[in-house]
Amino acid sequence: MHRRLHWPQVALAALLCCLSCGCWARKAGASADTGQGKTLTLPIRSAGPGSLDPVRGSTTYDSQACSLVYETLLQYKYLKRPLELEPLLCVAMPQVSEDRLVYTFELRQDVFFHDDPCFENGKGRQMIARDVVYSWKRLADSGIGTRNWWLLESTILGLDEWRGQQNKNDSFDYDAPVEGILALDRFSLQVTLTEPVQRFLYILAMFQMSVVPHEAVEFYGETISRHPVGTGPFTLAEEDWKTSKSLDFKRNGAWREEFYPSEWMERDEERGLHLDAGKRLPLVNHIRFNCYVQDQPMWLEFRTGLLDYAQIPAENYIDCIRKRTHQLKKAYRDEGIEYHPVPLLDFIFRGFNMEDELLGGYSPQAKQLRQAISLAIDLEEFNNTFYNGQNIVYDGMIPPGLDGYPEGGRCEASYTGPDLARARELLALAGYPGGEGLGKIDFYTSLAANSQEQTEMMQRQLGKIGIELNAILLEFPQLIEAINKKKAPMFSFAWGSDYPDGENNLALFYGPNRSPGSNHYNYENEAFDRLYEKIRSMPPSAARTEIYATMRDMVLEDVAFIGGMARTRNYLSSARIRNFKPTEDFWNWPKYLDISPSTPAN
């Protein structure tokens, strides 16, 4: 959702003329091999990350950047679908007790932190089990502004109680023991859970669970957010992060031996994704992320050869994709460009702050107001206008492909619009006939892509029942900050599932996760919370799926949000890039990318 940038007409006309005649040439510059090694230039479709401290990160953009520098105990296999976990900082997958409560990890002994002034003589030291314990404890420290305690809350034996005590103390003692996290020796870690939490292994692949050295945190203090020190394949110097413009990652020359995967899907062979099997990673020396608050600069830079891949803006979709066949047009194929449609575990919504004086609350009148707003919104018009009809519009918060997604995408509990007659009736019952006495509703959304146009459509749709919106468009980090501080009565963004289980989406409405946690709606429902606590330890089953549906319908009845929609993200890759199999379920995959020797840089 970005506002379109208006380029000078003369320059734009000249550029489009060049593109239309197929005479674009790859420019010398960031994506070229500068003689210092191979460089890829990739987009971040926003102003960039808000923080490069994993425990403070919460967005896709934070993950894109952090995942090049930091590492987790587990990761997803790059080429396997459906998603499958594998060890990263561990020798093997953990040993698990029969009761699913005790996990024992053996860590690799060839893992070292980046060389950095925070270490003695500037030399990165070996990572040990105590580093993992320290890094996870940081999620419990409310004094550092972590947004991710919800990942470990009620999960590890004794950790919640330890957190409560430490946050009461004058200083936070990271050396104080926790019963459920034990460094058995330098390279062995044992974790005891409070119950057999089903998602536990999934969260170990999330960037927020990355391993961080205490020396860096103590040395840099608050500036650790801009000076990451991890164990990953790339490093980022503070001066190489130009806020809202670019991040320039450089290969970690001391990185251990890691190799391109030897497992792939059969269809990957058609694109040669198997040919680099066994090659040492990473395959390039530099990765430049350019930040794009608006989509058109990203698109034009891809078309002029300055980016190695791009996501297709909705307004450019029909320029390169045939709507009837959903295939890339021949002119693009002739340039060596490839098309990669990627269905997302996606939840696009318009949310309500349930603590807001006007829009929040659980009285009949409060519900009727939100129900009226929902019934006035036509999500199919948004889909057809801004997403070329590619989105899946569905009821609830659990996206297609996961247990709890309603059959056919529809369920009776939803107040899905448009139904203007019913919307007007409910608005009157709420005490605002024709919108009288309601006043303007503050609506917060991202200053990005076609966000202003989408907001204007929403204003028009709600205007049909007499409701006025006051649009507040912010850059994404500022938007999330406002929502975390509960300043936004109504807001919109998209949530991509952290792992492939609908429990992750239901956690967005669990009371203890309220802002600044992942429950941005500040939804409170005791019955919902009890069911959530039950499903956390349930393995996949028909009984669990039935509870998922019950919980989904509770939230739909209360109308804590309007939605959802799931996107297919449309990627194009240049002839230059190799091993490109994009996903938004994890973000450490740039380490597998390479540059084709058949397309030398200018």
What is the domain-level CATH number for residue 509?
3.10.105.10
Same domain, 208 and 246: no
Residues 305 and 193 in one domain: no
How many domains are contained in the chain?
3
Higher pLDDT: 496 or 184? It is 184
Is the domain of 296 the same as that of 213?
A: no
State whether 100 and 207 are in the same domain. yes
Q: 520 lies in a domain?
A: yes
Query: The domain spanning residue 218 has which CATH number?
Result: 3.90.76.10
CA distance 398 to 406: 8
Mean residue pLDDT of the chain comes to 91
For the stretch 233-252, pLDDT in tens is 999 999 999 999 999 999 99
333-382, pLDDT tens digit by residue?
A: 999 999 999 999 999 999 999 999 999 999 999 999 999 999 999 999 99
Query: With bands split at pLDDT 50, 70 and 90, how would you rate the model's confidence at 388?
Result: confident
Same structural domain for residues 539 and 576?
Answer: no
- One domain for residues 79 and 22: no
Residue 395 shares a structural domain with residue 520: yes
The 10s digit of each residue's pLDDT in 524-556 is 999 999 999 999 999 999 999 999 999 999 999
* Structural domain of 141: 70-227
Domain shared by 194 and 320, yes or no? no
Q: Under DSSP, is residue 184 helix (H, G, I), strand (E, B) or coil?
A: strand
| Residue 519 belongs to a domain | yes
Q: Is residue 600 part of a domain?
A: no
The pLDDT of residue 28 is: 31
Contact indicator for 295, 45 with CB cutoff of 8 Å: yes
Lowest average pLDDT, out of 174-183, 256-265, 440-449, goes to: 440-449
- Specify whether 223 is located in the same domain as 300: no
Do residues 223 and 268 both lie within one domain? no
Q: What is the pLDDT of residue 22?
A: 38
Tokens representing 97 are 């007790």
pLDDT digits 0-9 by tens, 105-128: 999 999 999 999 999 999 999 999
In the predicted model, is pLDDT for residue 522 greater than 80?
yes
Residue at 516: amino acid letter: P
Boundary (domain end) residue, out of 227, 261, 283? 227
Same structural domain, 355 and 285? no
H or E element that contains 493: strand 490-496
Three-state SS at 178: strand
pLDDT at 422 over 60: yes
Evaluate if residue 325 carries a pLDDT over 60.
yes
Give, in order, the Cα–Cα distances in Å from 208 to each of 58, 204, 491, 512, 529: 8, 9, 24, 19, 24
What is the reported pLDDT for 598?
60
At 323, the pLDDT band (50, 70, 90 cuts) reads confident
Of 227, 250, 270, which residue is a domain's last?
227
Higher-scoring residue by pLDDT: 388, 593 = 593
pLDDT for the residue 6: 33
Contact 119, 172 (CB under 8 A): no
pLDDT value, residue 160: 97
The sign of the torsion formed by the CA atoms of 411, 416, 419, 424 equals positive
Q: Is residue 62 part of a domain?
A: no
CA distance 42 to 234: 15
Give the C-alpha distances (Å, rounded to integers) separating 457 from 3, 404, 580: 13, 30, 35
How far apart, in whole angstroms, are the C-alpha atoms of residue 321 and residue 219?
51
Q: Which of 439-443, 480-484, 598-602 has the lowest mean pLDDT?
A: 598-602
pLDDT at 403 over 90: yes
Is 4 a domain residue?
no
* pLDDT single digits (tens) 43-86: 999 999 999 999 999 889 999 999 999 999 999 999 999 899 99
Model-level pTM? 0.81
pLDDT bucket at 599, cuts 50 / 70 / 90: low
Query: Percentage of residues in the chain with pLDDT exceeding 90?
Result: 85
Is residue 309 one of the residues assigned to a domain? yes
pLDDT digits (tens, 9 = 90+) for 36-49: 479 999 999 999 99
Task: Tell me the helix, strand and coil percentages in the chain, rounded to 5.
Answer: 35, 20, 45
Per residue in 1-38, pLDDT (tens digit) is 332 233 333 333 444 444 444 333 333 333 333 334 79
Q: What is the CATH number of the domain that holds 20?
A: 3.40.190.10
Last residue of a domain, one of 227, 251, 284: 227
Q: Are 59 and 188 in contact (CB under 8 A)?
A: no
Check whether residue 39 and residue 171 sit in a common domain.
Answer: no
